[in-house]
Chains A and B, each alone.
Chain A
Amino acid sequence: MKNPFSVDKSYKIRHKILGVLHDDWEIHNHEENRIVGSIKIANETNIPIGDIHRWQYLLVEKGEIVISDNDGQSMMSIQQVGISAFVDKRYIKEGIKDTLDGVYAWARILIPLGALILSVINFSSNRNLDSKIKGLETKINQIKK
């Protein structure tokens, strides 16, 4: 089960992939359509190559990268949208927002549940107190007589 209090790794992976591609683009004087191999990305980020291949399609869908594969040699090329996404830390922000939404969703369940449990405890302790007070009243009345 996903931990609602931690940022999902897919956001971190996407940010790191864009980071390597962005740095390569910057090192090579902002040359457009630079191609970087998936193995280089895996080596620089310590992300398993399988995870890179799994999440790269989300970046393709957003128009942030172009991927190519030639006989198993996988490569990526960052696009202007991807550069903006990295510079803007879009996936870090989205990951934090997603985490906060998860916390909020849990809080919406846990807070009313906690309040209900507290009121049940209060109710039962009040009942005990009532019976004690009644007992004391009876004793006082008996003493008065």
Chain B
Amino acid sequence: MYKLAYVSGNNMDIASSLRHTIDDINGSGGIIVQIVQSQSTSSNGFTIVTVTIIYTVQPR
């Protein structure tokens, strides 16, 4: 069964949250299937990045 996680924020700031999310996935025995990144520029010039992670969790 596929599960979804995502991190969204200013491109300079998302590294820590992304790391935390990936650690959570790994910690729960999840296997990352695909990572998708999209980005846009906000009205005040920030590059807002959204990283979406699709993963599966093996039944224990």
Contact = CB atoms under 8 A, between A and B. Distances in A.
Nearest to A82: B13
Contacts, number: 68
Contacts of A67: 7-9, 17
Interface residues of B, number: 22
Interface string A44-68: 0000000000000100111101111
B14 A66 contact: yes
- Determine the main DSSP class of B at the interface with A: mixed
B26 to A, nearest CB: 11
A68 B20 contact: yes
Interface of B: 3-10, 13-14, 16-18, 20-21, 24-25, 42-44, 46, 48
Interface of A: 32-33, 35, 57, 60-63, 65-71, 75, 77, 79, 81
